[in-house]
Amino acid sequence: MIKYSKTTIFNVDVQTVVNTVNCVGVMGAGLALECKLRFPEMYKDYKKLCKESRVRTGKPYVYRCNSDFMVMNFPTKDHWKYPSKIEWLEEGLDYFVSNYERYEISSIAFPKLGSGRGKLDWKNVKPLMENYLKPLDIDVYICLDEEGKAVGIEKKMLDMLNQMDEEQWMSKLKIRKSISDNILKALPLHRFYQLQKVKGVGKQSYESIFRLFYIEAQKGDVVCTNNSKLPQIMTQQPLFI
């Protein structure tokens, strides 16, 4: 059964979420980057598998984060530089349909496969996904990510971010004054990823800030002061399908 949601894969109550990936070990933007930051051990395993040439288009695989939650890495690209191909999506969907019961996937959330940075037209991808996923006897969410405001964990992260003052950015997060000034001028942000567009916030800074706020939003505590001491939040093992 297919259910459409305007939110992201992270804000629906499912056992498994689908992350779109390439086959060369890079999760540098979009959904893949957020999955990398939310599930760092999954990312480490993915890089290792890519180095071993075990991540291939047409063969999504499942990474078990814990007994109740899994991430399915779905290759929609061969290399991150190049667009997706509709046949890779079809091969991957066919593979998923043939194997989901074997790994007891009970509910799953898909993004719009290959329709963002993959450059495929959603008008072509949507009927393909429906053709394969609609007959399944589990809850299948297709998440459109059309909400203009944050919800769930992201909203908690933004609430903390938007309340930070200059002293906190500089003393607690070790952000230079010039960058903290740029961030403060940009507030309030409505989606966390908008922080990447602030002048002076580079890739490494964004990833560190995201991880810090993500973990603190889960705990509901005040912001940590030492990013090197942030705990790992899951115990993981890879699981191929």
CATH number at residue 131: 3.40.220.10
Are both 161 and 48 inside the same structural domain?
Answer: no
CATH number at residue 217: 1.10.150.280
pTM: 0.86
Domain C-terminal end among 82, 115, 147: 147
Give percent above pLDDT 70 in the chain.
91
- The label of the residue with tokens 């495929």 reads 120
Are both 133 and 176 inside the same structural domain?
Answer: no
Whether pLDDT at 198 is above 80: yes
CA distance 33 to 193: 10
Number of domains in the chain: 2
Are both 120 and 160 inside the same structural domain?
Answer: no
Whether pLDDT at 134 is above 50: yes
Are 84 and 118 contacting, i.e. CB atoms less than 8 angstroms apart? yes
**Which residues neighbour 132 within 8 Å (Cβ) at sequence distance 6 or greater?**
90, 93, 94, 96, 97
| Catalytic residue (choose from 36, 77, 112, 156) | 77
Q: What is the mean pLDDT of residues 188-199?
A: 95
* Degrees, nearest 5: CA angle 14-45-228: 95
Domain C-terminal end among 147, 171, 188: 147
Averaged confidence pLDDT in the chain: 89
Q: pLDDT value at position 25?
A: 98
Whether pLDDT at 175 is above 90: no
Are both 139 and 156 inside the same structural domain?
Answer: no
- Residue 220 — pLDDT band, cuts 50, 70, 90? low
Strand order in the sheet with 61-66: 2-5, 139-143, 107-110, 16-21, 69-75, 61-66, 237-239
Are both 222 and 127 inside the same structural domain?
Answer: no
DSSP class of 13: -
CA distance 92 to 71: 15
Q: Which domain holds residue 188?
A: 152-229
Q: pLDDT value at position 228?
A: 36
Are both 100 and 174 inside the same structural domain?
Answer: no
Q: Give the pLDDT confidence of 65-87 residue by residue, as tens digits.
A: 998 999 999 999 999 999 999 99
Q: pLDDT value at position 219?
A: 82
**Which residues neighbour 241 within 8 Å (Cβ) at sequence distance 6 or greater?**
59, 60, 61, 62, 72, 95, 96, 99, 100, 102, 103
Domain C-terminal end among 109, 132, 147: 147
- Residue 165 — pLDDT band, cuts 50, 70, 90? confident
Q: What is the mean pLDDT of residues 170-189?
A: 86
**240 domain residue, yes or no:** no
Whether pLDDT at 192 is above 60: yes
Is 155 an active-site residue?
no
